[in-house]
Amino acid sequence: MKYCNTLIAVKDMPAALRFYKDLFDQEVITDLGWCKVLSCGLTLQEHFDEIAGFPAESMRYRSNTMELYFETEDFDAFQTLLDAHPEVERLHEAREFPWLQRGIRLFDPDGHLIEVSESMYTVACRQFDAGKDPEETAALIQHPLPVVQAWHARYQEASRRLHMSVCGTDCSVCACYGELCPGCHACSGKVFHAPEGSACAIYDCVVNTKGLKDCGACSALPCPIWMQTRDPSFSDAEFEKNIRTRIQTLKSSKD
């Protein structure tokens, strides 16, 4: 036995399809005439009373006993989209729940209740950004600690990749990172130590010339350009260690 999907009855299929397309970016993946399956798995069914054998007058479209639940990584963007559709009825405006998640409830054209909230991972990341550790975050957002710890590891990995340059250097540990240099991704390789107006030789090669994401995708790693752009403050041993560390960082970022 397995659970397959959720079916809701609709009175006007074109209106329902427009609603789920415009607000939730849903497409029809299976079209069975009166029955259409959307890309999220939700099934819309016209003439449900006839198919199921219900008297038409017994159909209830605003039961308020269940809801369809959607999550978004960008709740503010969804609010902006929703504001562009003033015809959509809302049960309540956006609010922050006790577990610090922001959400809003609204009705589809047939009166089915829908909740749209930001993902709990996004909520957790907001706490991590504020300096909260997993234990504090778990208590604040009312989620199991192992779940929050897994989110924290994901958050740290995302942060590490955000600060990693194309050559595998962790920009966040550099004293110049920030005001003097935003990192090679942010300035298209025109870092502070490159000739004015030009990109770093490594960035220019791997991104501008070869069109790769980083040096980890290049078969020539480590190449002569790496050797020619050595930090003069490094000893031979330090430079060899630096090369090994950067290669390992690039390899791990592909996992």
Digit-coded pLDDT (tens) for 165-218: 888 887 777 777 777 788 887 788 888 878 888 888 888 898 889 898 888 888
Q: What is the pLDDT of residue 28?
A: 97
Structure-token pair, residue 35: 């029955």
Query: Is 166 within 8 Å of 184 (Cβ atoms)?
Result: yes
- Coil, strand or helix at 37: strand
d(CA 27, CA 73): 20
Q: What is the pLDDT of residue 61?
A: 84
> Which uninterrupted H or E stretch holds 161?
helix 145-163
Please state, rounded to an integer, the average pLDDT across all residues of the chain. Answer: 90
Amino acid at 53: G
Q: How far apart are the first and last CA of the chain?
A: 35
Task: Give the sheet arrangement for strand 28-32, strand by strand.
Answer: 7-10, 43-46, 35-38, 28-32
d(CA 11, CA 62): 13
d(CA 141, CA 127): 9
pTM exceeding 0.75: no
d(CA 169, CA 80): 38
Torsion sign over Cα 138, 143, 146, 151: negative
> Which uninterrupted H or E stretch holds 14?
helix 13-24
d(CA 243, CA 227): 9
Task: Give the chain's residues under pLDDT 70.
Answer: 254-255
In sequence order, what are the residues at sequence separation of 6 or more whose Cβ sits closer than 8 angstroms to the Cβ of residue 247? 168, 221, 222
Q: What is the pLDDT of residue 254?
A: 66
Q: What is the pLDDT of residue 195?
A: 82
Q: What is the pLDDT of residue 255?
A: 58
